[in-house]
Structure 1
């Protein structure tokens, strides 16, 4: 199924057997996160969040770059603090929606991902980058420290590396981004779609229920103390164990047969 939202094709959506592909489609502006783009993304994520048939999401883009962050021209045309506070609040809500989404979100990164575009990559559960991709939080170069991107970046990159990116504004390449934890895999540019498809297929081959248990548990326990995290994880695992998929999966393992997962929403 293919459809677009009402934002004049600025964001494209395609559904394939439980995988939802969202494509930023403003290539002439390097897919900046304008007000319209933020609204379109939020609309789709809100819909996916309540869709039991959704099993994973891929966020990609058209053109030479993944995302150049906020639309600076749009920002300069609205020089009011209230406007900026609303803009950054909406962007922060979007990033948190990605984390809270009940299914895994994969960033498919080609070209450059800068500022809030780098934040978008950092907010996704997984990120697969083409070898020529590059990453920066470069607001510092125009006198604007990337404070909101720093929140996502510092949660997946070690503090000194994250601060170095934030204070220098320098680009890092895809291999460095993987070494630092910003992306989970790097492929040859020509093989990027294949690498993403392989990861999607891997996720779709797993129990939909177990994936949803895992996504919500993983992010929630990171905010807890060690003891609280173990208590929480133990309760989640006990509930997961009573799910029909887990019971079927264990029986299939013991019987040396392939499990058949329940397919919610279908």
Structure 2
């Protein structure tokens, strides 16, 4: 499913989508540029995310990359060509930040399927996804410091996924991190052999897709909302209110009754 061509022809879309069994597989398709996030690619990804938000046929989203790597961050040729064009750079950074926030606030769970490299804004994309599975040869970095451009916006997503000292190590050194360390630091969920990557991603996506989409939506929203609360009591208060609302949902009643009856629930997604 995820195996895209090593090179895209001029007529091919820079973003591909394939749906199967409630899972929307989105592939960044700029393989000759290591799927760098050009302004058009950011716009296409934003457009697709917005379209899937209210699509009941989509229960889980997978983001993958074509060719030799997942994503190498911003398109530095595009950046260099517009370096003195402040309105363009401001719009580019703003659009990318908005797209990352869309993933976090999206009602559907989003999984990153990572192979090759995920650097700078590509590493930010991995950190912004709810879950991430990588091949064991994948490497991660926030290398902006090496070219005089600190990874300021990737820092936001990174610092919300890994510990402060590990985040600072990545940001200050710009060095590559292997997949084992990415698991240990909490950037990704697991690393698997390259030949097992699609299987592992689909297994996880399939498990999630089998749940009530309503429950997934309110649960994902509550997870991120409680993290932003100022103290522990506020987090518990917020979670308690959400749990009471969830308890009144049709799928909660069905799920509890199915458990009592020792049968599989029939979700209505409400």
Match of 2:127 in 1: 122
Give the secondary structure class of the aligned counterpart of 2:113: strand
Match of 1:230 in 2: 236
Matched, 1:241 2:247: yes
Contact 2:251 2:269 in 1 (8 A): no
Aligned-partner Cα distance in 2 for 1:258–1:70 = 45
Structure 1 unmatched ranges of 5 or more: 1-6
TM-score scaled by length of structure 2: 0.93
Compute the RMSD of aligned alpha carbons.
1.2
**1:263 Cα shift?**
4.9
Structure 2 unmatched ranges of 5 or more: 1-10
**1:8 Cα shift?**
4.3
Deviation digits for residues 49-100 of structure 1, max 9, x if unmatched?
A: 2223321100001111100000000111112222211111110000000001
Deviation digits for residues 150-189 of structure 1, max 9, x if unmatched?
A: 0000000100110110010000000100110100111111
| Bigger Cα displacement from structure 2, 135-144 vs 81-90 | 81-90
Matched, 1:133 2:146: no
Deviation digits for residues 201-233 of structure 1, max 9, x if unmatched?
A: 110121221111111110111000211111111
Give the secondary structure class of the aligned counterpart of 2:123: helix
Aligned-partner Cα distance in 2 for 1:248–1:103 = 21
Match of 1:51 in 2: 55
Match of 2:183 in 1: 178
Q: What is the aligned length? A: 258
Give the secondary structure class of the aligned counterpart of 1:95: helix
Match of 1:86 in 2: 91
Aligned-partner Cα distance in 1 for 2:190–2:52 = 25
The equivalent position to 1:70 in structure 2, one of 65, 69, 74, is 74
Query: Post-superposition, which runs of at least 4 consecutive aligned residues in structure 1 deviate over 4 A?
Result: none
Match of 1:218 in 2: 223
Match of 1:106 in 2: 111
Match of 2:265 in 1: 259
Matched, 1:19 2:18: no
